[in-house]
Amino acid sequence: MTENLLFADANSDFESSNYVILAVPYDKTSTHRQGTKESPHNIRKESYNFETYLYDLDLDLVDVAIHDLGNAAIDSTPNAIRKILEAKKIPIVLGGEHSISPLIISEFKDISVLVFDAHLDFRDEYEGERNSHACAVRRMSEIVGPERIIPLGVRSMCKDELADAERVSLNFITAEDVRAQPFEAIQDIIDERLKDRIYVSLDMDAIDPCYAPGVGTPEPYGLTPIFVRDVIRRIAQKVVGLDIVEVCPPHDNGNTSALAAKLVRDFIGTREKS
């Protein structure tokens, strides 16, 4: 493995960049499939598959100031995010498992959070661990408030999670809700509940396994990549940070890492054009 591989077209230095890519290769609490810590390297590797020119946006990423800061250990992640935010840049974080997301958003102020996820992730603890990937939405809601977070694409939860979510009036949108309503209706819900500064946490298992097979905890009947892309495109100008988590390369054929890399590139391009 080439440890110093950087994301494609991240050719700017830190000072002149507008977007900073950071990787957190962490998977200590993974419970079904192991190996999400390998995903940053594989996402970076697949990022070289694509043309620099995004034809549908009429934008070339070689003209965008992007920097890859490298990898951060879990304990140093908050400091790395703080450095990026203090420099007034947009962090794009490659996980790793979903438990890294609360650490990231704890460094932001005055944000709402949109979480793409197959799982509600609202357990208070899982297997004795409060910072488990299965508790990610619960921990994030404690930071920003349950009224300022929307899990989107949900199709798996336990009864206790549902009861706790209802108790605090956590509003989530299921994958069935997405299929039952026009895109504009779902977007109106997001626009109404989440305001000007939005952090996006994209657990790749939100996307159906037929498109993203290599994830830590796959769940059928999911979202399409186009739907996820289009939601992010609609809010891109409001997005102040993004993470992509739960890609699991040992169980992938390369497609999930490629899709994650493409979504990163599309987000950057869309935000530049917005």
Give per-residue pLDDT as tens, 87-134: 999 999 999 999 999 999 999 999 999 999 999 999 998 888 788 888
Instruction: State how far Cα 49 lies from the chain centre.
Output: 21
Distance CA 178, CA 229 (A): 14
pLDDT of residue 210: 97
265 contact partners, CB below 8 Å, separation of at least 6: 9, 47, 50, 54, 61
Residue 2 has pLDDT above 60, yes or no: no
pLDDT of residue 3: 56
Residue 274 has pLDDT above 60, yes or no: yes
Q: Which amino acid is at 159?
A: K
Pull the structure tokens for residue 56.
């549908």
**Per DSSP, what are the bridge partners of residue 270?**
none
pLDDT of residue 159: 96
- The torsion angles phi and psi of 114, rounded to 5 degrees, stand at -105, 120
Q: pLDDT tens digits for 167-212?
A: 999 999 999 999 999 999 999 999 999 988 999 999 999 999 999 9
Q: Both ends of the chain: CA-CA distance in Å?
A: 37
Distance CA 262, CA 256 (A): 10
pLDDT of residue 109: 95
Domains of the chain and CATH, by start: 19-273 (3.40.800.10)
Strands 66-71 and 59-60: unpaired
Strands 198-203 and 53-54: unpaired
pLDDT of residue 257: 98
pTM: 0.96
Q: Are 202 and 242 in contact (CB under 8 A)?
A: yes
Pull the structure tokens for residue 166.
């209802």
Q: pLDDT tens digits for 29-73?
A: 777 778 999 999 999 999 999 999 999 999 999 999 999 999 999
Mean pLDDT of 257-261: 98
Pull the structure tokens for residue 43.
């996402």
Locate the DSSP E strands across 12-170.
19-24, 53-54, 59-60, 66-71, 90-95, 112-116, 149-154
Residue 1 has pLDDT above 50, yes or no: no
Distance CA 230, CA 139 (A): 27
Other beta carbons less than 10 A from residue 83's beta carbon: 17
pLDDT of residue 238: 97
Q: Which amino acid is at 273?
A: K
pLDDT of residue 207: 98
Helix (H, G, I), strand (E, B) or coil at 267: helix
What rounded mean pLDDT belongs to the chain?
Answer: 95
